[in-house]
């Protein structure tokens, strides 16, 4: 199989949000051609999208070992390290990428994101101050700059940065989402002290703590299981009541085994619903 068409197909799948398909496409390819740096980059991105953080780090490290001075490899290594809350390594990798390609705003954006994830909004804002002026065409970077500015208590400057992002890309989802977030945060800011508190809360919301993604995934799974169990419990109880009514009116003669089965199923659903209830 030719390399370029396969990587282009992986890019298209990733752009459409089909990371699972992209990973399945790439897995046998990197097995046959483990020296292909570009394939490892895409594998790292796919696994990050799938929240497979360990797998993403392994893919990023594979690319980095093949070319430790490649800015793209350093970018994905930093991304994976940030998601795993290995912040010192994430910042170091992003800074190295910026040194390798200092004119690339995407790399400076990654460095600022790594700093925000580490709880260093002042460093992120300072690092983007000059870059944001030079990269006036990059909406993503302007959004990250806005986040950093708001996190250090400069809401007006943050809104200006988001305004620039929307001027570049009027439909930018990240900029619009941040504006809503800012409005919600500012609704509680009535003086300097409450503004500082709102900024601190926002900065904390950007931080990534060890195990955070795993907790979110586990919580989502528990919520879904609990919902299914609760719906099943309602249906089993309704069926049990329906059988009782039909038998009482003489329309049905139900064997005792049917009652036992429905009671057992309802009890099981009730237990699962209780166990899957979110803690706290």
DSSP string, the chain: --HHHHHHHHHHHHHTT-HHHHHHHHHHHHHH-TT-HHHHHHHHHHHHHTT-HHHHHHHHHHHHHH-TT-HHHHHHHHHHHHHTT-HHHHHHHHHHHHHHSTT-HHHHHHHHHHHHHTT-HHHHHHHHHHHHHHTTT-HHHHHHHHHHHHHTT-HHHHHHHHHHHHHH-TT-HHHHHHHHHHHHHHTT--SHHHHHHHHHHHHHHH---TTHHHHHHHHHHHHHHHHHHHHHHHHHHHHHHHHHHHHHTTS----HHHHHHHHHHHHHHHHHHHHTSPP-
Q: Are residues 8 and 60 in the same domain?
A: yes
Q: Are residues 1 and 83 in the same domain?
A: yes
Can you give the CATH number for the domain in which 96 is found?
1.25.40.10
Domain boundary among 208, 233, 263: 208
- Examine residue 180 and state whether it is found in any structural domain, yes or no: yes
Q: Are residues 198 and 217 in the same domain?
A: no
Domain ranges, residue 134: 119-208
- Examine residue 125 and state whether it is found in any structural domain, yes or no: yes
In order along its 280 residues, the chain shows pLDDT tens digits of 578 899 999 999 999 999 999 999 999 999 999 999 999 999 999 999 999 999 999 999 999 999 999 999 999 999 999 999 999 999 999 999 999 999 999 999 999 999 999 999 999 999 999 898 888 789 999 999 999 999 999 999 999 999 999 999 999 999 999 999 999 888 888 888 888 999 999 999 999 998 765 444 444 444 445 545 555 555 556 666 766 766 777 766 777 776 667 677 767 756 655 555 443 3
- Examine residue 113 and state whether it is found in any structural domain, yes or no: no
- Examine residue 109 and state whether it is found in any structural domain, yes or no: no
Domain count, the chain: 3
- Examine residue 114 and state whether it is found in any structural domain, yes or no: no
Domain boundary among 160, 186, 208: 208
Domain boundary among 169, 185, 208: 208
């Amino acid at each position: 199989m030719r390399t370029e068409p396969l990587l282009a197909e992986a890019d298209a799948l990733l752009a459409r949000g089909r990371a699972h398909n992209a990973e399945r496409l790439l897995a046998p390819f990197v097995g046959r051609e483990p020296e292909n740096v570009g394939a490892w980059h895409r594998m790292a991105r796919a696994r990050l999208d799938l929240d497979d953080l360990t797998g993403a780090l392994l893919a990023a490290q594979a690319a980095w070992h093949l070319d430790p001075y490649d800015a793209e490899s350093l970018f994905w290594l930093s991304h994976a390290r940030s998601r795993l809350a290995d912040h010192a390594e994430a910042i170091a990798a992003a800074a190295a990428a910026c040194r390798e390609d200092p004119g690339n705003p995407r790399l400076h954006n990654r460095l600022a994101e790594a700093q925000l994830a580490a709880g260093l909004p002042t460093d992120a804002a300072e690092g983007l101050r000059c870059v944001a002026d030079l990269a006036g065409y990059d909406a993503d970077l302007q959004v990250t700059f806005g986040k950093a500015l708001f996190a250090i208590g400069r809401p007006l400057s943050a809104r200006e940065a988001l305004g620039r992002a929307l001027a570049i890309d009027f439909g930018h989802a990240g900029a619009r989402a941040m504006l809503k977030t800012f409005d919600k945060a500012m609704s509680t800011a009535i003086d300097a002290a409450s503004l500082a508190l709102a900024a601190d809360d926002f900065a904390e919301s950007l931080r990534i703590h060890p195990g955070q993604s795993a907790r979110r995934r586990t919580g989502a799974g528990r919520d879904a299981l609990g919902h299914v169990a609760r719906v099943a419990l309602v249906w089993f109880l309704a069926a049990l009541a329906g059988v009782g009514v039909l038998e009482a009116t003489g329309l049905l003669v139900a064997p005792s085994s049917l009652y036992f089965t429905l009671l057992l199923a309802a009890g099981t659903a009730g237990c699962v619903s209780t166990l899957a209830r979110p803690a706290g």
